[in-house]
Chains A and B, each alone.
Chain A
Amino acid sequence: MNFDFTDDQQAIKRTARDFLADRLKPERRRELAEGGEYDQGLWREMAGLGWTGIHLSEDHGGLGLGAVELAILTEELGYALVPSPFLASVAASLVVAHAGSGEQRSRWLSRLASGEAIGTVGLVTDGAAPLVPDADRADVIVLLDGLSGMVVEAGAAEIEPQPTIDSTRRFARVRAAEGEPLAGDPLPALDRIEVALAAELVGIAQRAMEMAVAYAKEREQFGRPIGAYQAVSHRCAQMLLETESARSATLYAAWTADHEPESLSLAASMAKAYAADAGWRVTSSSLQVHGGIGFTWEHDLHFFLKRARTDGHLFGSPRSHRERVAELAGLGPLGLAAS
């Protein structure tokens, strides 16, 4: 029983932390976010490091690693708040890898692994997927409707950009009359997407907590650092509890994906529900610690807060995941009204 990362896993974390700190300065991130753009050069470099295929088999040009390594990497992308189609594209390749036909896999996986193609996944309600990340630039869109799904080429879909509060990621509404049906059950892939999203939220929470703690040490009022007041320091302790608990739940869920798939559904819902709540609570609490400056556009915190809030709503709200936990924990299905 050991929660420690292996040397390779530590190397992934360190490389990602250093690389992103070096390549994505806060001014550049702000510039991208304000313009609603992504950095093509950065994307190519990330792909060159193998990140876009970290979870895909070597047959398809991936690194052949597991959900744990993907979570470690995704946490760092959240920590650095990288504007990029990484999560969307990984979501698409997860679904194609786990539920795609042989033809779909050979058609898309190598291109997604190399970063040459961009993919995304949308959840359909009432005939359309209302909020799909990066659909406007995607080459391939996977639309999931309940337990069935289809692969749609970008040209065959009706894509309508949607403004959201998260300017570090683009969103669109997607509707498609037809596509190629998936061959298998998309649920295992969907669970893995939820875990990756939870990992991104952990990274965001970690960063927002660090910002709050640093500010509480430096900002003085009434002649002492505000972090000396328990009203502030206990807020920060609460951030630590929630960030670490979200991390524990996420790493466990990623581990089940690789080693104990029968526990994945429950673990993924626990991770997503907890990390979504923690992501919001920690970023909003960090804003409170920052006081007025945290509410200004010129401070970076709001980018983190808005990404966390938006992430929380994607791929199942905390409410729907808690509902699934209640069901799997022993209360049984709620019935048709459940959602």
Chain B
Amino acid sequence: MDLTLSPQEESFREELRAWLAINHPGKEPEGDEASFEFRRDWQRRLAADRWAGLSWPEQYGGRGATLVEQAIFNEELAAARAPSMANVLGLLMGGPVVIAHGTEEQKERYLGPILNADEIWCQGFSEPESGSDLASLKTRAVRSDGGWVVTGQKVWTTLAERAKWCMLVARTDPDAPKHQGITYFVMDMDQEAVQVRPLVQITGEPEFNELFLEEAFVPDENVVGGTGNGWGVAITTLMHERSGIAFALQVQLKVALGELIDLIREQGLEGDPIVRQRLGQLYIEAETLRLNAWRGLTQIMKTGMPGPEGSLPKWQWSDINQALTELSMDVRGLEAPRADSDWTYRFLRARANSIEGGTTEILKNIIAERVLGLPRMR
């Protein structure tokens, strides 16, 4: 057991910190359009110095970074309160899928514009009737001249209104068993047959969208990983997404805890024993999340693949973030329900944490069945 960084890792961290000290863009502006452009510029600055696609091979503009370096990167950016990058889904999921499963032509075509945020990506996985049971999806792709014609509906599509490309899973063989008849497409969003409708959430903001596909066309060269292999392609992406994101999430929690401590002091409640107990507990849980994420990384480095234990951090994070935002409400008295407060927004937004990217119930199923070996419910 050695919980220190190697000299190479230490110098990676130093290089990144020095770079951030010069290049940090400051605070994100208000307003959707302005903040998106701000985050696009930020991503371009990162990409220019090969930080944006850190884990990508050097030939595609990345650094071929190790898992530990990626973890350090996520920790440092969150600690510096750097804004997120504009093309987050392209960077975390689209690019890695194309790198792992795409053809040379696809890599040539897609990777550069993902990195520079010239082409934004969105993800068309969930459907109104296929949430946790994703493999039951009904969106159909039917063979046509030189490609596929897609009809169906997708939901929770972040960034759809800005996206050029959609990572789309659709059923290409209705007769195959449900996990086998699915194909992974990269669909051009820029066509009449694709309609995007904003979906307003309980926060009052339309962060997500609905996607209506009425005979949208996808050419053959936009199939990734081969016809009928879409389930496997989609799942590997999800697992990588979960393991990488844990590091950013745990540092975001630490930053939020720091803000919560300031808030508790502002409210004059730093001497309240119950508040102190709850804050202490949150701090402990955030630390166990950090340590679990690092232990998980050790495991991935040994086995080469994120295992089912990778489901733990996301579950744990959503529990902690919900409890943290609940405490922030409890200490604010009659200020708490005000609609114009960032704390209140975060409190409401946190309700989605245990649903998005895999519900807590599904994550518990994965742990029960695949880590503990309990019998399947179905």
Question: Which residues of A approach B to under 8 Å, CB–CB?
Answer: 1-6, 9, 68, 213, 216-217, 224-225, 227-230, 233-234, 236-238, 240-241, 244-246, 248-249, 251-252, 255, 259, 270, 273-274, 319, 321-327, 329-332, 334-335
Q: Is the CB of A273 within 8 A of B377?
A: no
Q: Mark B265-309, 1 if CB is under 8 A from A, else 0.
A: 100001101001101110111011101101101100110000001
Q: Is the CB of A3 within 8 A of B295?
A: yes
CA distance in complex: A240, B368 (Å) = 9
Total number of residue pairs linking A and B with CB closer than 8 Å: 159
| Contact A249-B291, Cβ < 8 Å, known A3-B298, A227-B368, A329-B279 | yes
Chain B residues with Cβ below 8 Å from A322 are 276-277, 280-281, 284
CA distance in complex: A3, B71 (Å) = 15
Q: Is the CB of A1 within 8 A of B372?
A: no
Asked whether any CB of chain A lies closer than 8 Å to the CB of B58, the reply is: no
Q: Mark B39-59, 1 if CB is under 8 A from A, else 0.
A: 000000000000000000000
Closest 6 CB pairs of A and B: A322-B280, A248-B291, A233-B368, A326-B280, A245-B288, A227-B374
Chain A residues with Cβ below 8 Å from B295 are 3, 244, 248
Chain A residues with Cβ below 8 Å from B364 are 230, 233-234, 237-238
Asked whether any CB of chain A lies closer than 8 Å to the CB of B216, the reply is: no
Chain B min CB distance to A88 (Å): 26
CA distance in complex: A252, B374 (Å) = 30
Asked whether any CB of chain A lies closer than 8 Å to the CB of B68, the reply is: yes
Chain A residues with Cβ below 8 Å from B375 are 217, 224-225, 227-228
CA distance in complex: A339, B89 (Å) = 48
Chain B residues with Cβ below 8 Å from A332 are 270
Chain A residues with Cβ below 8 Å from B9 are 1
At the interface with chain A, which of B29-37, B156-164, B256-264?
A: B256-264
Asked whether any CB of chain A lies closer than 8 Å to the CB of B361, the reply is: yes
Question: Which residues of B approach A to under 8 Å, CB–CB?
Answer: 1-6, 9, 68, 71, 257-258, 261, 264-265, 270-271, 273, 276-277, 279-281, 283-285, 287-289, 291-292, 294-295, 297-298, 301-302, 309, 312, 315-316, 361, 363-365, 367-369, 371-377
Nearest to A228 among chain B residues (CB) is B375
CA distance in complex: A225, B281 (Å) = 35
CA distance in complex: A322, B292 (Å) = 20
Q: Is the CB of B288 within 8 A of A329?
A: no
Chain B residues with Cβ below 8 Å from A4 are 1, 298, 302
Chain B residues with Cβ below 8 Å from A68 are 1
Chain B residues with Cβ below 8 Å from A251 are 1, 291
Chain A residues with Cβ below 8 Å from B2 are 1-2
CA distance in complex: A259, B5 (Å) = 13
Nearest to A9 among chain B residues (CB) is B1
Q: List 24 A-B contacts (CB under 8 A).
A: A1-B4, A1-B5, A1-B68, A1-B294, A1-B297, A1-B298, A2-B3, A216-B374, A224-B375, A227-B375, A230-B364, A230-B368, A233-B377, A234-B368, A241-B367, A244-B292, A259-B3, A270-B284, A270-B288, A274-B284, A322-B276, A322-B281, A330-B258, A331-B264
Q: Is the CB of B261 within 8 A of A331?
A: yes
Q: B372: which of A2, A213, A245 is its contact (CB, 8 Å)?
A: A213
Chain B residues with Cβ below 8 Å from A246 are 288
CA distance in complex: A19, B271 (Å) = 49
Q: Is the CB of B374 within 8 A of A240?
A: no
Nearest to A247 among chain B residues (CB) is B295
Chain B min CB distance to A291 (Å): 16
Chain A residues with Cβ below 8 Å from B281 are 273, 322
Nearest to A6 among chain B residues (CB) is B1
**Given A3-B1, A230-B368, 8 extra CB contacts under 8 A:** A213-B374, A217-B375, A227-B374, A233-B368, A233-B377, A234-B361, A245-B285, A324-B280
Chain A residues with Cβ below 8 Å from B365 are 230, 233-234, 237
Nearest to A321 among chain B residues (CB) is B280
Q: Is the CB of B277 within 8 A of A326?
A: yes
Chain B min CB distance to A46 (Å): 23
Q: B292: which of A248, A319, A321, A325 is its contact (CB, 8 Å)?
A: A248
Nearest to B367 among chain A residues (CB) is A237
Chain A min CB distance to B244 (Å): 15
Q: Is the CB of B291 within 8 A of A252?
A: yes
Q: Select the residue from A4, A227, A241, A252 with max chain B CB neighbours within 10 A.
A: A241
Q: A326: which of B279, B315, B377 is its contact (CB, 8 Å)?
A: B279
Chain A residues with Cβ below 8 Å from B271 are 334-335
Chain B residues with Cβ below 8 Å from A233 are 364-365, 368-369, 372, 374, 377
Q: Is the CB of A331 within 8 A of B288?
A: no
Chain A min CB distance to B23 (Å): 25
Chain B residues with Cβ below 8 Å from A224 are 375
Q: Is the CB of B374 within 8 A of A325?
A: no
Q: B283: which of A227, A238, A252, A325 is its contact (CB, 8 Å)?
A: A325
Q: Select the residue from B9, B265, B284 with max chain A CB neighbours within 10 A.
A: B284
Q: B374: which of A236, A330, A335 is its contact (CB, 8 Å)?
A: A236
Q: Select the residue from A224, A255, A259, A326 with max chain B CB neighbours within 10 A.
A: A326
CA distance in complex: A224, B288 (Å) = 35
Q: Select the residue from A224, A233, A321 with max chain B CB neighbours within 10 A.
A: A233
Chain A min CB distance to B368 (Å): 4
